[in-house]
Each structure stands twice: as structure tokens, then as C-alpha cells.
Amino acid sequence: MPSLLNHIPFGKKLEKRVISAQAGNEAERNRLIREYAPFIKKNLSQQMGRFIEEENDDVFSIGLMAFNEAINHYQIERGSFLPFAATVIRNRAIDHLRKNRNASDEMPFAALGDEGIEGAVAGQVRVLWQPPPEETLSIQEEMQQLVKRLAQMGLTLDDLVQNAPKHEDTRRNAIRIARFLYEQQDLREAALRSGRMPLKRLEQECGVTKKTVDRSKQFILAVMIILDSDLETMKTYIQSVEEGLK
């Protein structure tokens, strides 16, 4: 193992520490877990769609075990450690969501793999719905396009994960609002240009309150962006929600 450490490129200090932990340095392993607790919590919170506390939250223990698992299985030749650890945390969170789906009203947040996704999006892309396995690749490609459109409006995928409606009725209502705005050319152009919601029109014609719109604003804008694009897989999802199939 010392010979392997000697061949790790300069600047890979974290990776050297991980390899050391793999070799049996338990003190280093414990230090890594303590130091990267905020990283674990951030990735879990993004995946679960809610703030994860380190104390009194069973989900955080899932993140700790996933991070420890990442230390055990990391291979230096496959790239940097943190994106790999984020993927392991993501997968364990998805497993947890799937096991508990029937016992929860919350909407599951699924993450896609990061193959072929570069820059700040790499390892961070989150999808707000779960596509069938055969649609995963097309969703990945569409998410890259969506990220660019969101950025033009000062939004990120993290914003959507944190603010997307968790309950089916609320989600369907937000999509209804987005559809109404999209089908009115003047409202569509204004909303997509400025990100502002025509609250009085929505209150009068959709029967919704300012509070309702504000809570789902980012999601509404994202749905409008999808409707105003060629992101066909995502459009199919939106239509299925409108028809009550999801």
C-alpha cells in the first residue's frame, strides 16, 4: 500500500487519505467521516428533498454508512473520491426511498448517474421524478439542457429539489398553473423573461393564492421551461401527472 500512495499524483491529498484508510488506518477513516459530515448531510438533503439533521435523524446514519462504503470501494484510477462518494450516498438514499415509498406521502427524488455530464453539473444532477430505466439516458441528456435554461433564470437544480411540491395534489396544481401561464402568450413571455408570476391574473383565473404560487414558483417556472422546449421525455411526465397517471 505505501507504494500505491507514492504513485498518487500531487494534489490528491484527499485520495491519499482514503487509500490510507482502506489500508487499515482507522484513525484516518474516522477523521474523514467527521470532517466530511457536512458533505454527507448536503448530499443527503438534496437527495431526500428535505433538511437532514446529524442528530435524531435515522437517514443521516444511512449517509455515514454510505460514505464509509465509498472509502472501502474507492479506486484511484476511476477519478476523484468525492464524486464517487456522492454517487454511493445517492444510491443508498434511493434504496431507502424505494423501501419506504409505500409508507410515505413524500415525492421520491431520484438522481441520475453522472456519466458524460461535465462541469458543475457532474455528480450533482437531480431529477424531480423517477423515469423508467429505459428512459434514463434520454433524461440525462434532457437534464443537461434544462440546467442551462434554469441558469439563464438564475435557478439551479438544487433550488428545485428544495422547493418542489412534495405532495401529489400540490404538484398537480403547480403544473396546472404552469400550463395556464404557458398557454397565454403574453404571460408566458413575461414569466420566462423575468421569472415573475402574474399573481392577480392567477388569483382571478386559476383560483390560487399568492402563498400557493410563491411556494411552488421555482417548480412552476421549470415546468414552463420544459413546455417551451423539445424535452420530450419530461413533457411526457408532465402530461402523465396532468392525466392523473402519476
**Which whole-number Å values give the CA distances from 77 to 20, 91, 124, 132, in the listed order?**
15, 21, 21, 31
| Percentage of the residues of the chain whose pLDDT score is greater than 70 | 72
Range of the domain at 182: 146-242
**Pick from 78, 85, 31: which is nearest to 63 by CA?**
85
Phi, psi dihedral angles at 54 (to 5 degrees): -75, -30
Instruction: Say what the pLDDT of residue 232 is.
Output: 79
DSSP letter assigned to residue 110: E
pTM of the full predicted structure? 0.47
pLDDT for 139 equals 61
Q: What is the pLDDT of residues 78-110, one digit of tens each?
A: 788 999 998 889 888 887 777 765 444 433 333
Query: For residue 18, is it within any domain?
Result: yes
- pLDDT (tens digit per residue) in 20-56: 999 999 999 999 999 999 999 888 887 776 777 666 5
> What pLDDT, on the 0 to 100 scale, is given for residue 76?
85
User: Is 118 among the domain residues?
Assistant: no
Q: Is residue 196 part of a domain?
A: yes
Q: What is the pLDDT of residue 138?
A: 55
Asked whether residue 175 falls in the same domain as residue 228, the answer is yes
- Min mean pLDDT across 47-56, 109-118, 171-180 is at 109-118
Start-to-end Cα distance in the chain: 51
Question: In the structure grid, which three cell numbers stand for residue 65, read together?
Answer: 454508512
Other Cβ atoms less than 10 A from the Cβ of 139: the count is 22
| Greater pLDDT, 232 or 126 | 232
Regarding whether 16 and 99 lie in a shared domain, the answer is yes
Average pLDDT, the chain: 76
Whether residues 96 and 181 share a domain: the answer is: no
For residue 78, being part of any structural domain is answered with: yes
118 or 23, greater pLDDT: 23
The pLDDT value recorded for residue 115 is: 34
Query: In this model, does residue 128 exceed pLDDT 90?
Result: no
Q: How far apart are CA 192 and CA 181, in angstroms?
A: 10
Residue 121's pLDDT is: 32
Identify the pLDDT of residue 10: 43
pLDDT 10s digits, 138-165: 566 677 777 788 888 887 776 676 677 7
Asked if the model's pLDDT at residue 190 lies above 70, the reply is yes
Are 94 and 48 a contacting pair, CB within 8 Å?
Answer: no
Give domain status of residue 35, yes or no. Answer: yes
Identify the domain boundary among 51, 73, 104: 104
CATH code for the domain in which residue 97 is found: 1.10.1740
- Residue 161 has a pLDDT of 66
Number of domains in the chain: 2
